[in-house]
Amino acid sequence: MKQLVFLGDTSTDRLHSCLHNIGSKKIFLVRGKKSYELCGAKHYIESAIAPLNCTLYEFYEFEENPKISDVERGLTYLVEQGADIVVAIGGGSVIDMAKLIRFFYSYKGDFKKNNFIKEKELLPFISIPTTAGTGSEATHFAVVYKDRVKHSVAHKDILSDISIINPSFTYNNPKYLAACTGFDALAQAIEAYWSIHATEESDSYAIHAIELLWKNMPLAVNSKIKESLNNISEGSYWAGKAINIAKTTAPHAMSYAFTSYYNVPHGHAVALTFPFFIAFNTNIPEKEYKGNITHKNYVEKINILFTILEVDKSDLISFVFQNYISLLGLSSVLGFDKKIIISNINMERMENNPRALTQKYINDVLDSIHL
């Protein structure tokens, strides 16, 4: 079934009508903790369900970056309560948690191998992001950690049936959170654009996302300008649509250990290596290029990207992004072990990169992070 999407300020009243049309009686709500009330989500949910004759079951006691043990607890609670719909309202970790609980309610199998068998019908699922950046509301995969190792569970039935994207939930997000999630969206869009799996469709989503995100990010993060915040929410959605097809690449592949071992938030972890990789991937010698289109066409794509970013020369791009990331307040991290980062590179994501990384390149990128 094609996802139904409501985007923008006018999406506010959609939840009530969706729940009414589905006929929900027992709602399983996956939500954040303090952020749930601070961003206005609590009032929104309570107002939507007040006229309905239904019961709300809330699940929120889980860590950021979903752990498989938390998914199992949530699934047990869902089954015990006999809920008939799953609603997620929160950031990327919240939506990923809801995706996984809803999926494993119906499917059994090995998440490490993405090998599943459907045993029950899916429950209806509505996702409502309260941060702008993860794109989780637009993708058919979800991240789960087991023993500090990140796994991406992918299946068409992981995508939510309905997504309600109301940018007002992001208006009061702390600056650092807005910077982390927003940069993640920008990185997703650019990575999808240069990914070896990029298509004309994903390119159109990625370009639209970059156009919305690039100039609006500093204004949204540093000045809280409403129009810019609205554009970031929309840009995040289109970035999610882009990676839903093309997937992420090297910057994401090297980011996960910074999060699981050093508690660096995901978007910040992606930003650490991004200046290196944008220089690395936008100036690829023909003999090192491994994409699915011709090298000439790839160069033409990169020229379009540079035009959007308003960068004249490829040798300036790393410097431009270092300044941009600093402007967002995403500083370097101190004291990480290179061996831990290298041994935890996500090779599935790395394989999507248009240029292969040798051991020397991997050392270079880690050395490029100022310690």
Distances (CA, A) of 88 to 58, 158, 162, 262, 317: 10, 13, 11, 27, 38
What are the DSSP calls for 163-211, one per residue?
EEE-GGGGTT--HHHHHHHHHHHHHHHHHHHHSTT--HHHHHHHHHHHH
The 10 Å CB-count burial string (b at 16+, else e) for 246-255 is bbbbbbbbbb
Q: Is the pLDDT of residue 370 over 70?
A: no
Given its phi and psi angles, is residue 303 left (phi above 0), alpha (psi -120 to 50 degrees) or beta? Answer: alpha
pLDDT single digits (tens) 275-301? 999 999 999 999 999 999 999 999 999
Tokens of 257: 């250990």
Q: Is the pLDDT of residue 176 over 70?
A: yes
Least confident of 25-34, 145-154, 274-283, 352-361: 145-154
Residue with tokens 């006999």: 82
Q: Is the pLDDT of residue 201 over 90?
A: yes
Mean pLDDT of the chain: 94
Give dist(CA 133, CA 126) in Å, integer. 18
Sequence-separated (6 or more) residues with CB below 8 Å from residue 34: none
The answer to whether 126 and 86 are in contact (CB under 8 A) is: yes
pLDDT single digits (tens) 52-80? 999 999 999 998 888 999 999 999 999 99
Torsion (CA) 210, 369, 198, 357 in degrees, nearest 10: 160
User: What percentage of the chain carries pLDDT values higher than 70?
Assistant: 99
pLDDT single digits (tens) 237-250? 999 999 999 999 99
Beta bridge partners of 59: 30
Mean pLDDT for the stretch of residues 206-212 = 98
Phi, psi angle pair for 257, to nearest 5° = -70, -30
Pairing between strand 115-118 and 107-110?
A: antiparallel
Distances (CA, A) of 62 to 69, 72, 96, 98, 112: 9, 11, 12, 11, 21
Q: What is the pLDDT of residue 1?
A: 62
Q: What is the pLDDT of residue 101?
A: 98
Tokens of 291: 């994409």
Give first-to-last CA distance, the chain, whole Å.
Answer: 48
